[in-house]
Amino acid sequence: RSQARVEHKRLALEIETHNERYYQQDAPTVSDATYDALQRRLEAIEARFPDLVTASSPTQTVGAAPARGFAKVQHAVPMLSLGNAFSDAEVAEFVERIRRFLKLGADDMPAIVAEPKIDGLSLSLRYENGDLVRAATRGDGFTGEDVTANVRTIADVPHKLNGHNIPTACELRGEVYMLKEDFLALNKKQQEAGDTVFANPRNSAAGSLRQKDVSITASRPLKFFAYAWGEMTDRPAETQNDMLEWLRDVGFIVNPLIQLCHSVDEVLAFYRRIGEQRATLGYDIDGVVYKVDRLDWQERLGFVSRSPRWAIAHKFAAEQAMTI
């Protein structure tokens, strides 16, 4: 027990140090897969010794406080992190939990939207009457940084939504990322100029986005995939898949590999196929994301602690999590 307390302290410290570097300086010291392992170890200790859980424990907070220097933005709907599955069995359990929670029959399979999990940084875009009014990073999930001026320089982000039943107010969400080849070219240029060299495309996207000097952001090859939303007055569709179609209609790039699946086998086949294509995608991914397609079921399933019950990320094993 005292040993568990010591290890708990060490893990919590290591995770907090990582968070500080990852969220404040876009320069993490451990790979995402190692970070995942630390988190799971901490969760395992806390499961056995619940009294070790304190409000400040990393398992109770999402991400880190936003960086200094940018105005803070409160997300109308929190941007919460996804739970993780690391095996086929955990994916099957995810589906089983949903069936039980929704009281579906044993052979009733909820349609699942499966998509590649882009390894970039998540961004929330607020549109009012179809006009982009604000862009914010996720920050700690509740409060992010105002990066509106920087985001206006990203070609993939529409300044105005196309005229398809546009909600009065909506927060659209997605991932800012950089193509691997653009990342390599940028690092070469940075190196020649004696400037910051980035460890991976995710860091270079984050570092490029959170520039006080907007012209630097404008010079960086940032891209954006839309995949979710927060606040949404008069929602235009009733399923995840149709909402993604709507996002395409109003002008966003939505990942073309996204697939609607009707069985666990189809979901796992998707995971394997994306795993095989991973090296040829042109951008980094660190797994795939599964979501229940029906939005009324998503609402009934809600969130457990800080992650949705209706969605999960299925990660690739650590050794494959190298970029380039």
Ligand X SMILES: Cc1ccc2cc(C(N)=O)cc(O)c2n1
Residues that bind ligand X (CB under 6 A): 82, 115, 117-118, 122, 175, 227-228, 289, 308, 311
Is the CB of 14 or the CB of 115 nearer to ligand X?
Answer: 115
Is the CB of 216 or the CB of 257 nearer to ligand X?
Answer: 257
What's the closest the beta carbon of residue 321 comes to ligand X, in angstroms? Answer: 14
User: Is the Cβ–Cβ distance between 186 and 165 less than 8 Å?
Assistant: no
Tokens of 40: 């799971």
What's the closest the beta carbon of residue 274 comes to ligand X, in angstroms? Answer: 11
Is the CB of 11 or the CB of 200 nearer to ligand X?
Answer: 200
What's the closest the beta carbon of residue 293 comes to ligand X, in angstroms? Answer: 12
What's the closest the beta carbon of residue 4 comes to ligand X, in angstroms? Answer: 31
* CA–CA separation, 182 and 283 (whole Å): 10
CB atoms within 10 A of CB 198: 20
Is the CB of 66 or the CB of 308 nearer to ligand X?
Answer: 308
Residue 292: exposure state from Cβ atoms within 10 A (0-12, 13-18, ≥19): buried
Contacts of 25 (CB under 8 A, 6+ apart): none
* CA–CA separation, 195 and 193 (whole Å): 5
User: Is the Cβ–Cβ distance between 108 and 176 less than 8 Å?
Assistant: no
Using DSSP's 3-state secondary structure scheme, residue 146 falls into: strand
Using DSSP's 3-state secondary structure scheme, residue 121 falls into: strand
Q: Would residue 117 show up in a list of annotated catalytic residues for this protein?
A: yes
What's the closest the beta carbon of residue 195 comes to ligand X, in angstroms? Answer: 27
Using DSSP's 3-state secondary structure scheme, residue 123 falls into: strand
Q: How many residues does the chain have?
A: 324
* CA–CA separation, 49 and 1 (whole Å): 8
* Catalytic residue chosen out of the listed positions 72, 117, 189, 223: 117
User: Is the Cβ–Cβ distance between 292 and 310 less than 8 Å?
Assistant: yes
Distance of CA 9 to the CA centre of its chain: 27
Is the CB of 15 or the CB of 311 nearer to ligand X?
Answer: 311
Is the CB of 52 or the CB of 311 nearer to ligand X?
Answer: 311
User: Is the Cβ–Cβ distance between 57 and 46 less than 8 Å?
Assistant: yes
What's the closest the beta carbon of residue 33 comes to ligand X, in angstroms? Answer: 15
The residues annotated with a catalytic role in the active site are 117
